[in-house]
């Protein structure tokens, strides 16, 4: 197995643990702070690629998209999944620039009231 593939698997495993912990202990925290913190962190990530900011935005996006799913807000969930893909691409150094920022803006509009 290549080093890059091994690193990617480790990153995914770590992310799963973080997301499960967030859901178990703090999903309401993301919801209480609303979409604003996520939007701010996601925008900073897409503009700067800062790894810590990207990870926090990705974790918040996961919690929000699960919340959207539980509320059967499937269009919102789909938009958030797209933003998650953009955040991951940004972390990998292959971001989509203005198109990713447009995806984030669409999610903000499509998930109002979440």
**How many other C-beta atoms lie within 10 A of the C-beta of residue 65?**
23
Please check the confidence at residue 37 and state whether its pLDDT lies above 60: yes
63 pLDDT exceeds 90?
A: yes
The pLDDT assigned to 112 comes to 86
In the structure encoding, which two tokens stand for residue 45, read together?
């990530």
pTM of the complete model: 0.72
Mean pLDDT value of segment 45-57? 94
Average pLDDT over residues 21-45: 69
The string of DSSP codes covering 58-83 is HHHHHHHHHHHHHTT-HHHHHHHHHH
**Could you give the CA distance from residue 30 to residue 56 in angstroms, rounded to a whole number?**
11
């Amino acid at each position: 197995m290549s080093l890059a593939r091994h690193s990617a698997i480790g990153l995914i495993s770590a992310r799963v643990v973080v997301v499960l912990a967030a859901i178990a202990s703090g999903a309401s925290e993301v919801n209480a702070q609303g979409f604003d913190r996520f939007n701010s962190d996601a925008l900073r990530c897409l503009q700067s690629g800062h790894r810590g900011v990207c990870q926090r935005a990705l974790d918040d996006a996961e919690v929000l998209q699960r919340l959207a799913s539980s509320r059967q807000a499937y269009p919102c969930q789909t938009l958030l999944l797209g933003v998650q893909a953009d955040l991951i691409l940004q972390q990998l150094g292959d971001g989509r620039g203005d198109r990713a920022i447009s995806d984030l803006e669409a999610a903000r509009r499509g998930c109002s009231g979440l």
